[in-house]
Amino acid sequence: MNSRKLFHSIGEIEDRFIDEASPKEKMQPTKRRFSVIKAAVAAAIILVTAVPITAFAIETFQYNAAVTYLTSLGIEAEDLSDYSRREVIETVKTYDAGESNALIENLLQENDKIPVTDTMAQVTSEQVSKLTPTMTYKDIIEVLGNTVDVGSGIYILQYEVDGEYTIKIPLADDNAQLGVTGDKLLEAEKSVTVLQADYPKYNTAEELVRSSDLVFAGTVKNIEYQMIDVSTDKEPDEDTGFVDNEKMPYTLYTVDVDKVYKGSIESSTIIIKRAGGSFGSDEYVVENASEIAKGKKYLFVTETYEDTYPSLLNADQSSYDMDTPQTIMDGEEKEITLSDILKLF
């Protein structure tokens, strides 16, 4: 029964009760011993007592119906204790008639709570990365969606990330701020392994370029991670030091080629690799590795292989940001710069 039919029914009940409580126009004579005067007095007493009792019953019925309607809107019943029964009843009548009502609007705002769920939401690491330190409970729900709360007394939101591992986000109350970035949350849940790689170190740009067989510039279009069998006809993999038939974590960079300085590339797009990467809750890193970001243009110095992707020569001297000039300050150790390499071509 919707609220309009409900209050229509209440009106009918109210009319029926009042009709039953009203005195009849004609009274049939009785053969009882008490006099007509006594009968009139008794009827008056019944009328005086019956009408208030009936009105109270009707108001109680209306109030309970109004409370049921308001709770269906998400308003807590205890929040109505500050208002009289008549106020609550009249409020629902006006709201149900399509009129705006400040009391209901205020109560709805105060009770704008997110429904409880026992289902853990599945999200991606990219979604989690969008979280910022100033976000509150509702902000996080808007970004990641509603999820199970495993906290007791505080919020502890639990999410499954990339279908591989879970993160927990604790918040003291509705207004508490996250305090960290989404990336920090992801890092906290990851097991970090530092790869021990015996990379060659180059002293000059000439030495670096001479050791490579493919030097080119291009824009990074995609970054992904893959476990690759590094077995080759050469010595153990130069990037990692691992021997044949071992699968190693690699980061793969898909690059749109702009210009080739040394060697040749048959396609306008190439995939190159560097040791390390993110695999679920496991993070593999190489110390001092230079940053390579999606959407940016770099000069890459690589070595090619017959059965696998080309590899960067080492972690920190094989990629150069084409949009950021590299300078050496007085007193700093001499480093190989982008301009040093470009001068060779």
| Token pair belonging to 212 | 């490579």
Residue-level pLDDT at 222: 95
Task: Report the share of the chain in percent with pLDDT over 70.
Answer: 72
Q: How far apart are CA 281 and CA 193, in angstroms?
A: 11
What are the backbone dihedrals phi and psi of residue 288, each rounded to the nearest 5 degrees, phi first? 65, 15
51 pLDDT more than 90: no
Residue-level pLDDT at 313: 94
Region 293-300: mean pLDDT is: 95
Least confident of 27-41, 54-68, 198-212, 243-257: 27-41
245 pLDDT more than 60: no
Nearest to 274, CA basis, from 335, 316, 235: 316
Query: For residue 157, what is the DSSP state?
Result: E
Q: Where are the domains of the chain?
A: 3-110, 121-189, 205-342
Task: Write out pLDDT tens, residues 175-228.
Answer: 889 999 998 888 877 777 888 777 889 999 999 999 999 999 999 999 999 988
Question: Checking phi first, is residue 89 left (phi over 0); if not, alpha (psi -120 to 50) or beta?
Answer: alpha
Q: Specify the higher pLDDT residue, 113 or 97.
A: 97
Q: How far apart are CA 121 and CA 19, in angstroms?
A: 58
Nearest to 326, CA basis, from 317, 345, 339: 339
Q: How far apart are CA 60 and CA 86, in angstroms?
A: 10
Confidence of residue 109 (pLDDT cuts 50, 70, 90): low
Residue 5: other Cβ atoms inside 10 A: 9
Q: Which residue has the tokens 């009770």?
A: 111
If DSSP codes are grouped into helix, strand and coil, which group holds residue 7?
helix
Q: How far apart are CA 130 and CA 263, in angstroms?
A: 40
Q: How far apart are CA 188 and CA 299, in angstroms?
A: 32
Residue-level pLDDT at 123: 94
Sign of CA dihedral 25, 29, 32, 34: positive
Q: Which residue has the tokens 């300085």?
A: 261
- Which CATH number describes the domain made up of 121-189? 3.30.1450
Q: How far apart are CA 76 and CA 82, in angstroms?
A: 12
Contact 121, 167 (CB under 8 A): no
Residue-level pLDDT at 21: 44
- Which CATH number describes the domain made up of 205-342? 2.40.50.120
Tell me the pLDDT of the chain averaged across its residues: 78
First to last CA, the chain: 83
Residue-level pLDDT at 95: 74
* Report for 82-91, 214-223, 304-313, 333-342: range of highest mean pLDDT: 214-223
In the chain the beta strands, taken as DSSP E runs, fall at 121-123, 155-161, 165-171, 191-194, 214-229, 247-262, 269-275, 277-279, 282-285, 297-303, 311-312, 319-321
Distance set, CA 231 to CA 238, 243, 247, 276, 305 (Å):
11, 7, 8, 17, 11
Q: How far apart are CA 108 and CA 71, in angstroms?
A: 10
Task: Write out pLDDT tens, residues 314-341.
Answer: 999 999 999 876 654 444 445 899 999 9
* Report for 51-60, 131-140, 185-194: range of highest mean pLDDT: 131-140
Q: Which residue has the tokens 């409970």?
A: 137
